[in-house]
Amino acid sequence: MSNVKEIFKKLIKRKIFMAVLLLFLIVVFVAVKKMPKGSEPAAVKEFSMKNDMLAGNQDGVVSIVNIASRKQLFSLNLNKIYEKDYEPAELNIIKSSPEAEEEPGKVEDTKPDQANDVVKDTGGKFFSDRSVEVVGEKEGYDIVAINIIKGDCWIKVQRKLISDVPEFKLLKWGREINDPQELHPIYVGDVRLFLAKKGTFSKNTSKTEVGNIFGGRTSESGLPEAEEISDQALIENITWDIETAKDSLIPDYNYSFTDKGFFVYDNVRSKLYQIFVKDNQLELSFIADNKDIVVKDYQFENGIFYFTVKDDSNIYILDGEGYKRVAVDYDLEDWTVDGNFLYYAANKSIFKIDLKTKEQMYVYLGDKTTDIEIIGDYLYIANKFGLTVNKSILHKFDKNLVSYGWAELNYAKDTKIVYEKDGEFLLKQSFRDNKDKLVYVNKDFRLSYEVSLDVSIPKLAVYNAKCVYGAYDEILYIYDIQGVLTDRVKLNISDIYIL
């Protein structure tokens, strides 16, 4: 009888267990069904952020939208403006190009004899003034001790000395002769051993002789130093006869929403407008009629329109006198304007041009630049230098290209500067698997930490030091300042700015 009772108790316990398990599985199943799939936004009715935002899309609609309710408060359509023969308020800063052409003497097709091309031979500048001592030999080469004035990549220095030996052999020999020291990282003041062909250096090589071999220049602190170029930059007046092309990477409506102002370049009709937000309404002010020019990137500064076009490395200027061209002899990497000064990156260097005097200077950076930002009195440059050791660099210069050091970052195919506050930086790095990371740099200009994002968002911005936001595939993503996703919503937008 007792056995029957025991069996009965076990059956009851088993039924209770199975019931609890079944209930748990039902809860999990319902939760999974409610979770967002793929890139679909979560079905959230109300969002934590109550702000309004300025939004633009590729249908030419610019609007004010409340984030929480997703309600459109005001909108205007660039296409409707033309249908109704609407005449927006004109800033009248830049004369439209047809008017300029009709007025004699406004635009001159000149090629000044005194204008010289930008110096072409900046490749190979190494910006290192090193002392060298021959200390031994290996594999038929001299072993040389080189005092590193500017922190550098070991293999890049080594290839300057020997270029006809496979890299894997140079790295193997380098590890052997430097053991127990590592080949990376190298800092200012360090000494590393390298291999050089016999007779390249004498036992008492002077710094001058070493400089002739490596090229370039540094300051006393070992930081890269600007070099002035004796020739003036080639800036010439032109009549526009250049055919511009468009591809899928150039939007029909090219928005620029920043703290400096709100602009849209209409690539369908080649017109530039400024947008003003007043009392939850939008005002559109006409700036320039740019013929039939398809613009890739642009900047509007002090009443002057600067822009670039596809398949062309030059930078163009449209002002009250017509078009000018700033000749860039190398592939243009990035550029920005600050008052009368143009900064651009090309040929692994950063250039500064005084647009009034045409005087220019440059600093060799070592690799391709992916972003240039002017913040306060300083110029910050994201550069891909360090590929062979899986590193990239964030440089800090003043506006005269005097270096204030750099931060070492992990290597990425693209690095953008998103935000700076009190000496701390937020960057966005993109990788080959179409994944992005938020990268934080501390006040000591050192990498602090990284946060992976689940999507690749082309443009990110920061609102009031509280959140990071951006639009991708017509979805608005909002993260807290630590990079944790807080809100997302499906909207027909391509560019946004939280007001």
Residue 13 has a pLDDT of 57
- The pLDDT score that the predictor gives to residue 230 is 56
Strand partners, 147: 191
Give the predicted TM-score (pTM) of the model. 0.66
Would you state the torsion angle of the CA atoms of residues 464, 465, 466, 471, taken in this order, to the nearest 10 degrees?
80
Half-sphere exposure of 444 (CA within 13 A, CB side): 3
Q: Give the largest CA-CA distance in the chain.
A: 118
CA dihedral (240, 243, 248, 252) in degrees, to 10, reads 40
Please, are residues 271 and 263 in contact by the beta-carbon 8 Å criterion? no
User: How wide is the angle at C-alpha 379 spanned by C-alphas 125 and 407, nearest 5°?
Assistant: 70
Q: Measured in whole angstroms, how far is the alpha carbon of residue 462 from the centre of its chain?
A: 15
The CA-to-CA distance between both ends of the chain, in Å, stands at 79
- In whole angstroms, what is the distance from residue 395 CA to residue 397 CA? 7
Assigned token pair, 118:
């930008």
CATH architecture of the domain covering 52-121+230-361+369-374+410-498: 6 Propeller (2.120)
Say if CB 252 and CB 60 are below 8 A apart: yes
The pairing of beta strand 89-90 with beta strand 281-289: parallel
**pLDDT at position 415:** 93
- Sequence spans of domains, the chain: 1-35, 52-121+230-361+369-374+410-498, 132-215
pLDDT of residue 27: 54
Contact call for residues 231 and 117 (beta carbons, < 8 A): yes
Give the Å distances, CA to CA, from 4 to 11, 12, 16, 18.
Answer: 11, 12, 19, 21
The confidence score (pLDDT) of residue 375 equals 93
φ, ψ at 491 (rounded to 5°): -145, 150
Residue 474, φ and ψ in degrees, nearest 5: 60, 30
Q: What is the pLDDT of residue 178?
A: 87
Give residue 235's pLDDT. Answer: 81
Phi, psi of 8 (to 5 degrees): -65, -45
Over pLDDT 70: what percentage of the chain? 72
Write a three-state SS string for the chain: CHHHHHHHHHHHHHHHHHHHHHHHHHHHHHHHHHCCCCCCCCCCCCCCCCCEEEEECCCCEEEEEECCCCCEEEEEEHHHHHHCCCCCEECCCCCCHHHHHHCCCCCCCCCCCCCCCCCCCCCCCCCCCCCEEEEEEECCEEEEEEECCCCCCHHHHHHHHCCCCCHHHHHHHHHHHHCCCCCCCCCCCCEEEEEECCCCCCCCCCHHHHHHHHCCCECCCCCECCEEECCCCCEEEECCCCCCCCCCCCCCEEEEEECCEEEEEECCCCEEEEEEEECCEEEEEEEEECCCCCCCEEEEECCEEEEECCCCCCEEEEECCEEEEECCCCCEEEEEEECCEEEEEECCEEEEEECCCCCEEEEECCCCEEEEEEECCEEEEEECCCHHHCEEEEEEEECCCCEEEEEEEECCCEEEEEEEECCEEEEEEECCCCCEEEEEECCCCCEEEEEECCCCCCCCEEECCCEEEEEECCEEEEEECCCCEEEEEECCCCEEEEC
Name the stretches of the chain with pLDDT < 50. Answer: 4, 8, 30-47, 83-128, 205-222
Confidence (pLDDT) at 18: 65
User: What pLDDT score was predicted for residue 15?
Assistant: 58
